[in-house]
């Protein structure tokens, strides 16, 4: 007789879903046809009920997708509590444009986000303090750590504990931070890869890494080339939290903080209350959206 269990989808590839059941391991499952008929696609991060078909081979069917807390469009994952974006301070120096793209994307989807700057042992103190103050002034929580010297890691671990966290982007020292915090995560990743039998897929799809039964990290490889696309250019200003205190204080209603006279955001910029780098990125993203709009019509 089928045995029902509850778990979380940690990876999905070509119609197969890998479901982590706390205390039991990872089951390879197919989704019932009913989901297709209802046009429901199971997502990484979904909490599901599975019917176990073969206990030894750890095979099952997804019977039910439990109600979602939220579902992100990019990456396509469900039930995310928060995000952590990791950048090195040195070697390589951080790509602040990519960082700001990530932050805009998370703001757009209402995901609370913290920033972790690694390699603080290599970076100048002035530069580290400058970056910390830029992003703390925007309302973000900022961790400065050294994975190599294991400094500042406990705070990051406490932030991740008991939550499901999207972690990005790839290729900037993310794995060195994660490996020190959660050495067991490598084994979990290996277990999923072994089931997939196709290593080449492992870096191209989002996957949840179970740390304990309440802590999951969502590894999303696609964050190395982000573009702000699925929004109107007029909306962009809403996703820069440091602009919020000045909303309604500009001379013109609907001011987009560009060339309009009497712009409160531009005044704050001149007074040093808004970061010049962040404002330049805002202007660049706005122009990108404007260009896309032209191509659409």
SS3 246: helix
7 pLDDT band, cuts 50/70/90, is very high
228 pLDDT band, cuts 50/70/90, is low
Between strands 47-54 and 113-118, the pairing is unpaired
Nearest-angstrom CA–CA distance, 70 and 141: 22
What does the radius of gyration of the chain's CA atoms come to, in whole angstroms? 21
Regarding predicted confidence, which is higher, 200 or 3?
Answer: 3
What does the pLDDT look like over 8-22, one tens digit per residue?
999 998 889 999 998
Q: What is the pLDDT of the chain when averaged over all its residues?
A: 86
Nearest-angstrom CA–CA distance, 232 and 228: 10
**Omega before 140 cis (within 30°)?**
no
What does the pLDDT look like over 46-79, one tens digit per residue?
999 999 999 999 999 999 999 999 888 777 899 9
φ, ψ for residue 195 (rounded to 5)? -65, -35
What does the pLDDT look like over 95-129, one tens digit per residue?
899 899 989 989 988 999 999 999 999 999 999 99
Provide the b/e sequence for 121-145 (b: ≥16 CB within 10 Å): eebeeeebeebbebbeebebebbbb
Regarding predicted confidence, which is higher, 268 or 88?
Answer: 268
User: Which alpha helices (H) appear in 119-202, and where do they start and end?
Assistant: 125-137, 153-160, 174-181, 184-196
* Whether 58 contacts 87, CB under 8 Å: no
SS3 283: helix
pTM of structure: 0.86
pLDDT at 223: 54
235 pLDDT band, cuts 50/70/90, is very high
φ, ψ for residue 186 (rounded to 5)? -60, -40
SS3 259: coil
Nearest-angstrom CA–CA distance, 215 and 92: 29
């Amino acid at each position: 007789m089928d045995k029902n269990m509850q778990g979380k989808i940690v990876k999905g590839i070509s119609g197969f879903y890998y479901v982590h059941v706390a205390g039991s391991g990872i089951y390879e499952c197919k989704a019932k046809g009913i989901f297709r008929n209802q046009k429901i696609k199971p997502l990484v991060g979904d909490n599901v009920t599975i019917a176990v078909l073969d206990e030894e081979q750890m095979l099952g069917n997804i019977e039910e997708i439990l109600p979602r807390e939220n579902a992100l469009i990019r990456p396509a994952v469900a039930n995310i509590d928060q995000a952590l974006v990791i950048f090195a301070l040195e070697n390589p120096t951080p790509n602040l444009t990519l960082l700001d793209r990530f932050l805009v994307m998370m703001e757009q989807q209402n995901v609370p986000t913290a920033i972790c700057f690694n390699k603080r042992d290599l970076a100048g103190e002035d530069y580290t303090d400058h970056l910390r103050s830029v992003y703390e002034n925007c309302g973000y929580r900022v961790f400065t750590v050294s994975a190599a010297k294991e400094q500042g890691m406990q705070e990051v671990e406490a932030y991740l504990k008991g939550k499901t966290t999207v972690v990005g982007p790839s290729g900037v020292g993310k794995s060195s931070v994660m490996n020190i915090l959660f050495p067991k995560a490598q084994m979990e990743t290996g277990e999923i890869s072994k089931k997939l039998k196709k290593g080449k897929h492992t870096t191209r799809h989002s996957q949840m890494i179970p740390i304990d039964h309440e802590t999951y990290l969502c590894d999303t490889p696609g964050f190395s080339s982000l573009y702000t696309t699925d929004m109107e250019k007029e909306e962009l200003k809403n996703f820069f939290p440091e602009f919020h205190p000045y909303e309604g204080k500009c001379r013109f209603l609907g001011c987009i903080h560009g060339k309009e006279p009497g712009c409160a955001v531009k005044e704050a910029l001149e007074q040093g209350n808004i970061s010049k780098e962040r404002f330049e990125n805002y202007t660049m993203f706005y122009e990108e959206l404007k260009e896309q709009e032209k191509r659409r019509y």
